[in-house]
Amino acid sequence: MTERSTGSVDTAREALSSSRQLARRVRHAQRGTWFPLVLLGLVIAAAAPFYRLGRHVVTCDPALGARGGVQIIDGGACVQVVGWPVGIYWIVAFVLAYAAIAAFYVYRARNRGVGARVLPYVGTGIATGLVLGIASAWSQQLDIVGYFPTGPVAVGMVPLISIGLALFVLARVERNWPLVVFTTGYLVVALLASGIGTRRPGVSVGAGLGPMWGFLPGLVVACGVLLLGGVGFALAERRRGV
């Protein structure tokens, strides 16, 4: 190896390394991960009254089940679960939340002088939220009961999943590995808290709450995870001094 080639290789290495460092700095400046996490955490918390609105105690024979709706049978009491109140809530909330997220990123881009490609995330968030939300809340009316998870678990779980799926897109957009890890953890926790694999979803997690409020632990856990994540990402951003 001659001195000249060594020199040119060193220059090339330096140029590549400097390019990578610059790219990293720009990515850090573009990130605003904390905002969607905090906002969506609050959106989940605000959904609670609408879940409660869709639950009614009905008279039924626990052996036969209630008519015309999903039901939870708990200790001889029958609760009918209607998906439309929360379905409407999620449609409106998702559209407004993702519009606010888009506005936040635009404002930040103007402020910092560096744009971010946030449209794929916003588009995915709205699309998955609407499609999955409508499918879970109106599965009977849409006649897709056999093709789509239904019941109280699905009504509670699907919006949480759609938030997670969209967060994976945000992680891709921001090239943010910590967000991939966080989102994976959030999805696992949200699914477990929604009562996946339990015989009496929600009720088993929310022992003592009864069937009328059995959805609450799932929401509280998912909301808590997102809020904590938001705080964590905000602190990390502050520490980097971006």
Partner 1 sequence: MTHPAIGLDDVVHQRVRLGILTVAHEARRVEFGFLRATLDLTTGNLSQHLTVLEKAGLVEIEKGYEGRRGRTWIHLTAAGRKALDDEISQLKRLIRQVEEAPAADPAAEPS
Which spans of this chain sit near partner 1 (rule: CB under 8 A)?
1-2, 5-6, 8-9, 12-13, 15-16, 18-19, 22-23, 25-27, 29-30, 109-110, 112-117
Q: Report the alpha-carbon distance of residue 173 to residue 105 in Å, rounded.
A: 12
Tell me the closest approach of the beta carbon of residue 81 to partner 1, in angstroms: 43
Q: Cα 140 from chain centroid?
A: 24
Tell me the closest approach of the beta carbon of residue 156 to partner 1, in angstroms: 36
Nearer to partner 1, 18 or 198 (CB): 18
Tell me the closest approach of the beta carbon of residue 110 to partner 1, in angstroms: 6
Q: Report the alpha-carbon distance of residue 173 to residue 142 in Å, rounded.
A: 33
Nearer to partner 1, 32 or 214 (CB): 32
Dihedral sign for Cα atoms in the order 170, 172, 173, 179: positive
Tell me the closest approach of the beta carbon of residue 26 to partner 1, in angstroms: 4
Q: Report the alpha-carbon distance of residue 9 to residue 93 in Å, rounded.
A: 55
Nearer to partner 1, 80 or 176 (CB): 176
Q: Report the alpha-carbon distance of residue 168 to residue 183 in Å, rounded.
A: 7
Nearer to partner 1, 27 or 200 (CB): 27
Q: Report the alpha-carbon distance of residue 23 to residue 198 in Å, rounded.
A: 46
